[in-house]
A = this chain, B = another copy of it.
Amino acid sequence: MSTSRLEAFADGVFAIAATLLILNVQTSGSPLGQALLNIWPSYVAYAVSFISIGIIWVNHHTVMNQIAHVDRRFLLLSVLFLMLIAFIPFPTRLLAEHIVAPEGAQAAALSYGATLTLTAILFNAIWRYAAHNRRLLKPNADARVVEGINRSYLPGPFIYFGATLVAFINPLASAGLYAAIAAFYVLESSLFSRR
């Protein structure tokens, strides 16, 4: 199978998962103005998850750009990876509804962190499966680029796992870290990227 069919399916899942996040933003109670202010965690959770999915999408294309073809194992790893991407709206809603609620903040922060940690692990698994002995890479894939991707994606699971552990001490701090990770990637790309 060519990579383009996988990219089309993956782009679909990324776009739908990101766009479905809006279904989690809901108000109740009145007056409406006050209700809209009260759900500020929903806006933050929406933005953090949308941007996180967006960053993973950008990185997914960096990976796919190095890949010449895909095999069935790679496809199935990709399905598992996309299964986690499509799962993100659920813990996002938990976080939005519970992070400042009297109850459930810890469980919400843990499930958000667990989802993102697993996503980062599978992202690394996809890349390493493809790059192992240059199994699926383009013949002309630059060794330094490959090495650079190796290095830049490796910390992801550890960073998210660390932020998840923080939820055992302080769920709000953990949620803040998830936002900070997304903000860091945006700022890093904005400030330091050379084209």
Chain A residues in contact with chain B, CB under 8 A?
1, 5, 7-9, 11-23, 25, 27, 30-33, 36, 46-47, 50-51, 54-55, 57-58, 61-62, 65, 71-73, 75-76, 79-80, 82-83, 86-87, 89-90, 94, 98, 103-104, 106-108, 111, 186, 189-190, 193, 195
Task: Establish whether residues B103 and A32, one from each chain, have CB atoms under 8 Å apart when the complex forms.
Answer: yes
Residues A86 and B19 in contact in the complex (CB < 8 Å), given A94-B27, A104-B32: yes
Copies of this chain in the oligomer = 4
Residues A61 and B12 in contact in the complex (CB < 8 Å), given A54-B82, A90-B22: no
Q: Report the minimum CB–CB distance from A90 to chain B (whole Å).
A: 5
Interchain CB contact (< 8 A) of A8 among B8, B22, B50, B55: B8
In the complex, what residues of B have CB within 8 A of residue A19's CB? 12-13, 16-17, 20, 86
Q: Report the minimum CB–CB distance from A33 to chain B (whole Å).
A: 4
Residues A30 and B103 in contact in the complex (CB < 8 Å), given A22-B89, A51-B83, A54-B83: yes
Task: Establish whether residues A79 and B65, one from each chain, have CB atoms under 8 Å apart when the complex forms.
Answer: no
Q: Report the minimum CB–CB distance from A110 to chain B (whole Å).
A: 8
In the complex, what residues of B have CB within 8 A of residue A108's CB? 32
Residues A58 and B72 in contact in the complex (CB < 8 Å), given A13-B19, A14-B9: yes
Task: Establish whether residues B54 and A76, one from each chain, have CB atoms under 8 Å apart when the complex forms.
Answer: yes
Q: How far is the CA of A46 from the CA of B90 in the complex (A)?
A: 12
